[in-house]
Structure 1
């Protein structure tokens, strides 16, 4: 066993829910150690692994890429320990519980009885995990915005645990057993919600420019920091603004924002109809990609189009994707359509439908399914290198999905000025994300200013802009990954010597690498 194999084994052992969702065997009965001692032990071990791996660099190119991938993860983990999310935010605890219980039933990789047995074991650990959340949150570090997000999510837990999860179990006896076992976990969530409602948070969600830049350079392997990224976002926004104005004039409008506002009025009438239209567009995108021979399809791949899970709806206002677990033979993924929470008003639902208009649906479906996230992650799951199945960065994964939107436009998929404008709107939205995320975390923009920027510089409703900005505050450096990654991939493609299908197969098949390593994998140097 190599040192890198030992590291991957350690990582899976320390992150059992992540290991299970990746498809590793033997990790489905526990949520892991969420105590202060557990977090401290993992942080120290990451430092030691970094020291060990930095001292052994392989000569073979593919081995060196694998090695550098592990190092990039560890450098990011060590840097992030200076800004510990487990002391600042309920999300690490809540996300683990929700994901560990929902995803296995969604993926159905084991018999139902085994899934229920694993869920029962994890449900028994939920009170201890939430007790650790209460013990670990530091009033001087935790931010009110992040605590409020956690509170909103915690309030969905009782229904999720006692109704939603048992409701997906077909066997009546198993369903009843799961519902009964969920009650103590639901009570623990009720207790956590009461705790969070009274919690006095005095910390900040702002990461700061130093750590933000460190993560860009050392974890994402980009050759620049937050300030330069901010300027790149502004430049991209300005260039897209000019191009969109030209397309808007073809639609008879003087201003692209007004044109988009008009286009957004043509939307599916209901959330259910929105899901149906996304499903039809997913089929069309797959047929187009196949007919134009843009990629090679992995055997057995399939993508379902479903409503977003209830626990996601209070914190995520946009479409999302659940990948096939790469450590299994499965190539089945799920495109989640962004439903609103049950308590939303008719006007809030209408605004969500407007930001999923018929002009926008083609770009979003391409991004999430073919040849975006679903095709990429189903294809890369066939890569034999385990470390590349375990570690990937959104700067590649999200960059790839935005790259293919532009590529599909080049290939003739967006055939009307309406869909072209919506395609460009998706891209300028990502440029605005770069500007806002860097400005927020470097202390140059308030939440209110960011919400205004996103609702005026991109075609987001005020409600959607509010949800977006909340996400940026909670997840620093992620929002810029889309356009930053797309531009880097476009640059790699310009230097690639080969046809388009080969480029896509080689680059996407190399994994979800930091972009510097992706360039090495595609170009061989």
Structure 2
């Protein structure tokens, strides 16, 4: 027993020593939120919005009442990150609640239905006959609403129509859970309620389908690309940037992306001339694409590229890499279905390799191989494994793991992209083909800023985004289509695609302040970043510079200037 306690203390003492005074409040908030999520399962109900609104407001008050001046330096950083997190939660929760209220009348027949699933939580024996009558009445009311729907004013957008449909879908799902809790376990309930429920459930599904189509096509849902996203608009982008501590407008970021792109084009011309293609850099790009490896050999080549990148950063003493981090990364192959959304590598503890299979058409096979050629991939393997995402994940589990709640793609993707910029400066590309590969990806990240922000601002359609990637960056068409589908239909936030280059430029600017000015070595800089876990980079800047920010700090770091 004593040995076990000693072992546990040895395990947790380093972790506890790294934790700030905000550790327990942050973990308690997470536990509160998780408990309420399990209790209030219908996320499109007034009950849910009101309860979670109170949760966020109560915790925001709790945090604001803390004695900021008495906190340690890490405590102050955690305070600002936690307060920012809660302010963002309050803002977007209130926004979602307002949008819900605009369509909530679609379930004005459902008061007793909601009372039923709330009653079910008590696990008490229900009045089965009364519930059967309630279901029958609701079915009659619902039938009337379906019949009247064509004569009512359509929703002004397909997004609003889908929200109305989702309200009914969420109601149906929650009711089904309550129904199944009693069905067959309570003979009287089963005898009375089974048939009324089956009829009501089928009608709810019909109503959901009808609502989804009940809109005027003022905003085009499908521009012909088959990619259907949900542009959030200028005001939401502005707020998202504020909460990510990015003190620039969407247009300023687009302008910076275009400047970065112009730099890449100049460098592409130099590489093109080295390869003998003069000023036709797209011809040089074609040359590099056609350097693809045979399918059977490619996984082994990817493994070698990852080892090469690790050895490079170690040889140049750029960052500390734990032996276990080098031992534990793995490789997987990406399915053909997944490649429709992720045409290139994905990574973390495992690098997921995109390459063709026998089920693909000849055209699809060539696009996959050309888009994942060795020179393109050399710039992305280190992004995914070491010193990129795998090393990030490994260190995040071991240093201030409670900060993972503050997850931001500007830290996650920005760090990996920063290494592409840093290694470019260190002459990591061995030849002109490698330069083309690295520049292609850099141009791609610039293009992500341009097309994704313009899409959310309403200035570009998905098809225009695809064409932009093909014409401007030189993507294979299928890869461009998959990239746009990933951007707008994947499980990514609206700023995710801009976070690569913008976050990379933040780290690049911070390195210029701390390393290039001689305050610390490059290895010390990189190792420090790896101990801070995922935070808005402006807060990491304050911590590494030893600056104390005010309790009401608002973003002010003009890192692009």
- Structure 1 unaligned regions, length at least 5: 17-26, 89-137, 151-190, 323-332
**Aligned partner of residue 493 in structure 1, secondary structure:** helix
Deviations 1:483-511 (A, max 9, x none): 10111111101111111111110123211
Match of 1:308?
334
Deviations 1:396-443 (A, max 9, x none): 111110111122233343211111121111111101111111111111
Structure number with greater Rg is 2
Deviations 1:460-504 (A, max 9, x none): 111111122223334411101011011111110111111111111
Match of 2:311?
287
C-alpha distance in 2 between matches for 1:458 and 1:212: 25
C-alpha distance in 2 between matches for 1:77 and 1:341: 43
Q: 1:35 to 1:233 in 2, by over 3 A?
A: same
**1:372 partnered with 2:388:** yes
State which of 71, 74, 85 in structure 2 corresponds to 1:73: 85
C-alpha distance in 2 between matches for 1:469 and 1:402: 19
C-alpha distance in 2 between matches for 1:11 and 1:82: 19
C-alpha distance in 1 between matches for 2:495 and 2:394: 25
Match of 1:186?
none
Match of 1:63?
75
Once the two structures are superposed, the pairs formed by residues 30-429 of structure 1 within 5 Å of their partners are 33=41, 35-37=43-45, 38=48, 41-56=51-66, 57-58=68-69, 59-81=71-93, 84=96, 143=159, 199-200=212-213, 205-217=230-242, 219-253=243-277, 254-270=279-295, 273-301=297-325, 302-308=328-334, 312-322=338-348, 333-338=349-354, 344-383=360-399, 385-429=400-444
Q: 1:406 to 1:213 in 2, by over 3 A?
A: same
Q: Is the 8 A contact 2:26 2:402 kept in 1?
A: no
**Aligned partner of residue 317 in structure 2, secondary structure:** coil
Q: Is the 8 A contact 1:207 1:442 kept in 2?
A: yes
Q: RMSD of the TM alignment (CA)?
A: 3.7
Match of 2:521?
499
**1:444 partnered with 2:454:** no
Alignment TM-score, normalising by the size of structure 1: 0.69
**Aligned partner of residue 331 in structure 2, secondary structure:** strand
**Aligned partner of residue 380 in structure 2, secondary structure:** helix
Once the two structures are superposed, the pairs formed by residues 453-492 of structure 1 within 5 Å of their partners are 453-474=468-489, 475-492=493-510
How many matched pairs? 410
C-alpha distance in 1 between matches for 2:377 and 2:289: 11
C-alpha distance in 2 between matches for 1:343 and 1:197: 37
Q: Is the 8 A contact 2:258 2:446 kept in 1?
A: yes
Q: 1:360 to 1:51 in 2, by over 3 A?
A: same
Q: Is the 8 A contact 1:79 1:215 kept in 2?
A: no
Deviations 1:183-221 (A, max 9, x none): xxxxxxxx99xx88995385771111111011111x211
Deviations 1:102-130 (A, max 9, x none): xxxxxxxxxxxxxxxxxxxxxxxxxxxxx
Deviations 1:160-195 (A, max 9, x none): xxxxxxxxxxxxxxxxxxxxxxxxxxxxxxx99xx8
**Aligned partner of residue 81 in structure 1, secondary structure:** helix
Match of 1:166?
none
- Structure 2 unaligned regions, length at least 5: 1-19, 101-153, 167-203, 222-229, 548-561
Q: Is the 8 A contact 2:339 2:482 kept in 1?
A: no
C-alpha distance in 2 between matches for 1:420 and 1:395: 25
Following TM superposition, by how much is the alpha carbon of 1:8 offset from its aligned partner in structure 2, in angstroms? 2.8
Following TM superposition, by how much is the alpha carbon of 1:82 offset from its aligned partner in structure 2, in angstroms? 5.8
Q: 1:8 to 1:308 in 2, by over 3 A?
A: farther
Q: Is the 8 A contact 2:336 2:360 kept in 1?
A: no
Deviations 1:46-66 (A, max 9, x none): 343233323433542211111
Deviations 1:207-241 (A, max 9, x none): 11111011111x21111121211211112112221
Following TM superposition, by how much is the alpha carbon of 1:310 offset from its aligned partner in structure 2, in angstroms? 7.4
Q: Is the 8 A contact 2:384 2:416 kept in 1?
A: yes
Deviations 1:50-101 (A, max 9, x none): 333234335422111111222232233333336659x99xxxxxxxxxxxxx
C-alpha distance in 2 between matches for 1:504 and 1:257: 35
Alignment TM-score, normalising by the size of structure 2: 0.65
Match of 1:129?
none
C-alpha distance in 2 between matches for 1:54 and 1:501: 36
Q: Is the 8 A contact 1:429 1:457 kept in 2?
A: no
Following TM superposition, by how much is the alpha carbon of 1:281 offset from its aligned partner in structure 2, in angstroms? 0.9
